[in-house]
Amino acid sequence: GSCWHQCCPGRNNACWAPGTRRARCYCDSYCERTGDCCKDYHAVCHHAAVGCAVGPWGPWSRCSSLCGVGSKARSRQVTVPPRHGGEPCPDLKQRRGCLGEHPTCGTAK
């Protein structure tokens, strides 16, 4: 099979060519992980892999509960998206528990 007609980023099951013995060979960058690339994939499609890069974590949000158990969240942004089969991005959001302690929490109603 030959990739001369197309090369696709990521995992794309529509990016294939007829191979030997009626088998398909693939021209997407995921074929490097699965080992089913067409014979000319590296010559035609291969580019240097670029792994994902992310920025710093932002600040934690306020507790979701004024009184009692709640949660806080923070996030970060992708600065360089992965390309050509590079490492995927790590988690972009985190959540953790917190305890709301607003001054009115202990007031009886």
Which residues 6+ apart lie within 8 Å of 38 measured at CB?
1, 2, 3, 16, 17, 19, 25, 26, 27, 31
Domain extent listing, the chain: 1-46, 55-101
Burial of 38 from C-beta contacts in 10 A (0-12 / 13-18 / 19+) = buried
pLDDT of res. 48 = 60
Its CATH architecture, for the domain 55-101, is: Single Sheet (2.20)
Tens digits of residue pLDDT in 40-66? 888 888 766 678 899 999 999 999 999
pTM of the predicted model as reported, rounded to 2 decimal places: 0.53
Token duo for residue 88: 């995927």
Is residue 17 pLDDT above 50, yes or no? yes
What's the pLDDT tens digit per position in 62-102?
Answer: 999 999 999 999 999 999 888 766 778 999 999 999 998 88
Nearest to 20 by CA among 7, 38, 4: 38
What is the rounded CA–CA span in Å between residue 24 and residue 6?
14
